[in-house]
Amino acid sequence: MKKPLPFLGHENIMTSLREAQTAGRLPHALLFVGPEGIGKQKVARHLARGILCEKPGGPCDECRACLLSSEMKHPDLIWVEPVEEKIKIDTVREMKKELAFPPMMGSSRIIVFNDAHTLNASAANALLKSLEEPRGGTFFILITHALGWIPRTIVSRSHKIPFAPLSPDQVKRILAELKLNLPEAFVLRAQGSPLQAMALSEIQGRVPEIKALLPGPKAMGFEEAFELAQSAVEAGRVPAFLHALLSSAHESLTGDQGEEAWEFDLLNFTDRILEIKRLLRQNINPKIHLTRLLLYFQEPQESRL
Ligand SMILES: [Zn+2]
């Protein structure tokens, strides 16, 4: 008997991909799009294993191909991850060299680009040629949570598969499977992503309440703000940190029936957070931007606007 498939929330996508694969009409370039941490990689891995399996209807979890691919050691499964937040042209060139030869074990080969939005312009251009001239048995899977950063030329040559965020119940089920018992608030703030819920719970103790950022006798100084920013950067938790600050600002906005000026200030503050989130994709120094953000309310009011 087959084990139940762990694609909570994405069962329909998996089924239709498998049907297309079995019928021999799987598009040669797939673009998985959806929020971070909801299971896109898992689906990609399973699909890849199914394509490489030596038995029809795989993955069978028994053949040599399945054993190798489950350890990510299958020679015809090329999984590309960004290095220092970039996929460079050299990586794409290496991949293309391999493509010049037939697959090593079977008749198919799968190339996955995780975080495909980190392909720099020249790398994307180099990849484009391979997408334009597909070879039989070669499948590309591009995974991203930032579709806007992928060149249109690549998007137009790929078959887009949108992944929806999970429901809070589904997030809870996945966290329970991982034996993580997180407070409900994190689940609700996680925007349908178990990974986000985990990041939020990790960062929580370090994110100050908005009120702690206001000017006053105990106002945060530069050093304290810098240290806080540094700890978020070092823990690799900048997006979660920003997300938690955003939620906190949002709660202050809806909770406090304060003055209009305060609301206006808070809205500007949230705009700054969103701006930094956007800038994070452009190789900025997050430490400096986070520090400035934490000191936002200390700036003279005119320059806050
Ligand atoms: Zn197999």
User: Ligand 1 centre and the CA of 106: distance in Å?
Assistant: 12
- Neighbour-count burial of 3, counting CB atoms closer than 10 A to its CB (0-12 exposed, 13-18 middle, 19+ buried): exposed
Question: Among residues 213, 206, 229, 235, which one has the least CA distance to residue 276?
Answer: 229
User: Ligand 1 centre and the CA of 55: distance in Å?
Assistant: 6
Buried (b) or exposed (e) across 113-129, using 16+ Cβ within 10 A?
A: bbbbbbbeeebbebbbe
Q: What is the pLDDT of residue 248?
A: 81
User: Ligand 1 centre and the CA of 34: distance in Å?
Assistant: 28
Question: Among residues 278, 205, 197, 304, which one has the least CA distance to residue 240?
Answer: 197
* 256-269: pLDDT as tens digits: 666 777 778 888 88
d(CA 154, CA 143): 12
- Whether pLDDT at 292 is above 60: yes
Q: What is the mean pLDDT of residues 192-221?
A: 82
User: Ligand 1 centre and the CA of 99: distance in Å?
Assistant: 23
User: Ligand 1 centre and the CA of 54: distance in Å?
Assistant: 5
Q: What is the pLDDT of residue 136?
A: 86
Compute φ and ψ for 13, nearest 5 degrees: -60, -45
Please give the torsion angle defined by the CA atoms of residues 54, 58, 59 and 63, in that order, rounded to the nearest 10 degrees.
Answer: -30
User: Ligand 1 centre and the CA of 52: distance in Å?
Assistant: 7
User: Ligand 1 centre and the CA of 78: distance in Å?
Assistant: 18
User: Ligand 1 centre and the CA of 218: distance in Å?
Assistant: 62
User: Ligand 1 centre and the CA of 70: distance in Å?
Assistant: 10
User: Ligand 1 centre and the CA of 3: distance in Å?
Assistant: 14
* 19-68: pLDDT as tens digits: 999 999 999 999 999 988 899 999 999 999 999 999 988 899 999 999 99
> For residue 251, what pLDDT band results from cuts at 50, 70 and 90?
confident
Sheet holding 109-113, edge to edge: 77-80, 109-113, 138-144, 29-33, 159-162
- Dihedral angle sign, alpha carbons of residues 37, 43, 46, 49: negative
* Three-class secondary structure of residue 159 per DSSP: strand
pTM for the predicted model, two decimal places: 0.78
User: Ligand 1 centre and the CA of 296: distance in Å?
Assistant: 56
User: Ligand 1 centre and the CA of 49: distance in Å?
Assistant: 7
- The residue with tokens 């949570």 is 145
* Three-class secondary structure of residue 197 per DSSP: helix
User: Ligand 1 centre and the CA of 174: distance in Å?
Assistant: 26
Q: What is the pLDDT of residue 256?
A: 62
User: Ligand 1 centre and the CA of 24: distance in Å?
Assistant: 18
- Whether pLDDT at 98 is above 70: yes
d(CA 109, CA 139): 6
d(CA 13, CA 100): 31
- Whether pLDDT at 215 is above 90: no
User: Ligand 1 centre and the CA of 247: distance in Å?
Assistant: 45
Q: What is the mean pLDDT of residues 271-290?
A: 85
User: Ligand 1 centre and the CA of 177: distance in Å?
Assistant: 25
DSSP 8-state assignment for residue 90: H
User: Ligand 1 centre and the CA of 254: distance in Å?
Assistant: 53
User: Ligand 1 centre and the CA of 59: distance in Å?
Assistant: 5
Element (H, E) at 244: helix 238-255
User: Ligand 1 centre and the CA of 94: distance in Å?
Assistant: 27
- Whether pLDDT at 18 is above 60: yes
Q: What whole-number percentage of the chain has pLDDT above 90?
A: 50
User: Ligand 1 centre and the CA of 91: distance in Å?
Assistant: 28
> Are 17 and 47 in contact, with CB atoms under 8 Å apart?
yes
